[in-house]
């Protein structure tokens, strides 16, 4: 049977696409391409055993996404959670929730309501 093998992209509307992609590149270290988008290749996650993309519906009444009121959440895998959080702090972004290997932080609210970063490598101590 033919089947889905991964997420081919995350696409969303933005009032200022250039500023948003620059923010993702500068604050989160995402690789900005010449054509204006960000390309995350599978070999980066493959270098971290056990890393995967999760595709999972939540019950309508969940509070897991709070403080966001959106019906979805984008979970970004990172190689160094503490390093990413330190860079975010330099840009005025602070986590709204933290867990042992996970932190939730909102990107600028004019662009999205919530993005989650989690660590697929070792968290620095």
Per-residue pLDDT of the chain (125 residues; tens, 9 = 90+): 988 888 888 888 888 888 888 888 998 889 999 998 899 888 888 887 777 888 889 999 988 877 778 888 887 888 887 888 888 889 888 777 777 666 666 555 433 334 444 444 444 43
Cβ of 75: how many Cβ atoms within 10 Å? 14
Q: What is the pLDDT of residue 106?
A: 59
DSSP 1-36: -----S--------S-HHHHHHHHHHHH---B-TTS
Domains of the chain, CATH where assigned: 17-119 (3.30.720.120)
Cα separation, 24 vs 41, whole angstroms: 16
Answering whether pTM is above 0.75, one says: no
Q: Could you tell me how far CA 113 lies from the centroid of its own chain? A: 12
Cβ of 19: how many Cβ atoms within 10 Å? 13
């Amino acid at each position: 049977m033919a089947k889905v093998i991964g997420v081919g992209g995350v696409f969303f509307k933005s009032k200022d696409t250039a500023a948003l992609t620059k923010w993702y590149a500068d604050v989160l270290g995402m690789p900005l391409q010449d054509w204006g988008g960000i390309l995350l290749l599978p070999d980066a996650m493959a270098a971290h055993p056990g890393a995967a993309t999760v595709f999972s519906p939540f019950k309508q009444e969940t509070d897991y996404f709070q403080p966001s009121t959106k019906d979805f959440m984008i979970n970004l895998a990172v190689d160094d959670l503490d390093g990413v959080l330190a860079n975010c702090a330099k840009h005025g972004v602070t986590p709204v929730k933290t867990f042992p290997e996970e932190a939730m932080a909102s990107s600028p609210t004019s662009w999205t309501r919530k993005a989650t970063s989690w660590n697929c490598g070792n968290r620095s101590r």
